Structure 1
């Protein structure tokens, strides 16, 4: 069993530019219950099933398994809540931390979110100058929420 500890931020769109073309991600949810989410994701040419527990601050249980790409595609197309989450992920290193910057499209067009995983909830992180504000506690920015109430409807 793994524990995910991450902080989530909005970015200044005029201060950040992608340094690579990123990787395409398509994901959907079989369950969006508060106590657990079950996510199906294709990332590039690989696919994963991820189970996450309820958030405890910025931490939660997380278990992830690689699954056949064809199975993930069938689940996404037929069983997951709609709309699906579609985004391009960019990875950047900044002062010892790896940042995942997700540029959303489809029903979440216009949203760009940066996440950083930490070793502990109290770990300090020096923010890049393109960080706007933290939204770790704002459930609207959870991907599982974005599939139920997309950004374009806010």
Structure 2
């Protein structure tokens, strides 16, 4: 069993763009949530996956990811995740020996930009790039399901100010 250990941050400015070495477009669909966990389908240009993530304990959570046929992922996104889809472009940005993922959201979350780093263990030291803003790892307002709910309730993309003003 694999554990995902990650930290998530707001992005303070576009300084990360100069260091980006690749990007890929992702579509995530939320299939369901349970006791702090979720089931997600993801589609990108190269592969399709079904992922089950358990409850977060600190920075870590169990993660089970399985490659699935592209046609199945497309059908799940269309038939099961109709209103629970996230579109984003993920940029890979190396910094101090690690690779950051900077996600630029589209669709219902258009304009939102978040960065995350996957770690080997919770105590791993991380050099934070100058373009990072505050850490939001433990902030429930920055869970993708919460961001989608806020956008659906507003009937339009939500701004960072609106997310920060939402109750925790």
**Structure 2 length normalisation: TM-score?**
0.85
Give the CA deviation at 1:20.
4.9
Any conservation in 1 of the 2:16–2:93 contact (CA below 8 Å)? no
How much does 1:69 deviate? 0.8
Secondary structure of the corresponding residue to residue 150 of structure 2: coil
Greater relative CO, 1 or 2 (CA 8 Å, sep 6+): 1
Quick check: 144-153 or 53-62, which moved more?
144-153
Q: 1:147 offset after TM fit, Å? A: 2.8
Partner SS, residue 17 of structure 1: helix
* C-alpha distance 149-32 of structure 1, shift in aligned 2 (>3 A): farther
TM-score by length of 1: 0.92
Q: Which has the higher helix share?
A: 2
Residue 165 of structure 2 corresponds to none
User: Which stretches in structure 2 are left out of the alignment for 5+ residues?
Assistant: 152-156, 163-168
Structural mapping, 1:1-154, within 5 Å: 1-17=1-17, 19-20=20-21, 22-80=23-81, 82-150=83-151, 152=158, 154=162
Measured on the aligned residues, the alpha-carbon RMSD in Å equals 1.7
Aligned partners of 1:11 and 1:41: how far apart in 2? 23
SS at match of 1:110: coil
Q: Answer whether contact 1:24 1:43 (CA < 8 A) is retained.
A: yes
- Aligned residues of 1:3 and 1:62 also touching (Cα < 8 A): yes
